[in-house]
Amino acid sequence: AQRVSGSFQGALSAAQRLAALEMDKDVGREIPEPAKLELALAAIKAKKYAFAEYYLVELRKSANSKIKAGAMNAIGVIALKDGRVPEAMTAFEEALKAVPDYEAAHINRGFLALRYADYNTAKDSLNGMQKDWYATSGLAIAERLSGNADNAERLCDKAMSGGEKSKQVLFNCAIVAYQGKGDYQKAKSLLQKIVKLQSS
């Protein structure tokens, strides 16, 4: 809860209290792996990457596939922030080897591939996640850039059907309408919605 609320100090304090409680019961006992992963994720959110890596190096070897996938995905995020793109992609793929349906790694892998014009990898990662508006909007971009304007438009409509008000989705779908379909009115309407969002 502390990590989700965005308080690294709060998460760290909670972990210290947990560790103290565990030590009272059993001096030889360690912090459980899920708690270490939560600490690493809180540290990443607080941009304390060295602290995060301290735990992630160990967790990447976990026997628990979910912990390993979470650690590898987090390692990929840190690598990406450092500009180590091939290492980030490898980490996301390792996360998916551990847990093939790990959504965070699919999204990270898909958008990283999209960023570097690897549309097939982007579609491979994002295709199975069409219940997620963000993944669907990324898939629409990949389809548009692959020359599949009709499918891109269908995916845009789906991404926006849930009432999502993301400026990025609106912008991407405006480009699909304008460049992919030649629908200037729809593109203009979507761009006007962005202006309304910015002014509110």
Q: Output the DSSP codes for 63-119.
A: SSHHHHHHHHHHHHHHHHHTT-HHHHHHHHHHHHHHSTT-HHHHHHHHHHHHHTT-H
pTM: 0.77
Quote the CA–CA distance of 47 and 86 in Å, as a whole number. 21
Highest mean pLDDT, choosing among 7-16, 86-95, 127-136:
86-95
Segment 127-136 mean pLDDT: 84
Quote the CA–CA distance of 109 and 103 in Å, as a whole number. 10
**Other CB atoms within 10 A of residue 60 CB:** 19
Segment 111-129 mean pLDDT: 91
159-164 own/partner pairs: CB under 8 Å, 24+ apart: 159/133, 159/134, 160/133, 162/133, 164/133
* Per-residue confidence (pLDDT) for residue 168, from 0 to 100: 82
Cα–chain-centroid distance for residue 5? 17
Q: Give the percent of the chain with pLDDT over 70.
A: 83
Q: Is the pLDDT of residue 165 over 90?
A: no
Segment 71-78 mean pLDDT: 96
- Range list of β-strands (E), 109-194: none
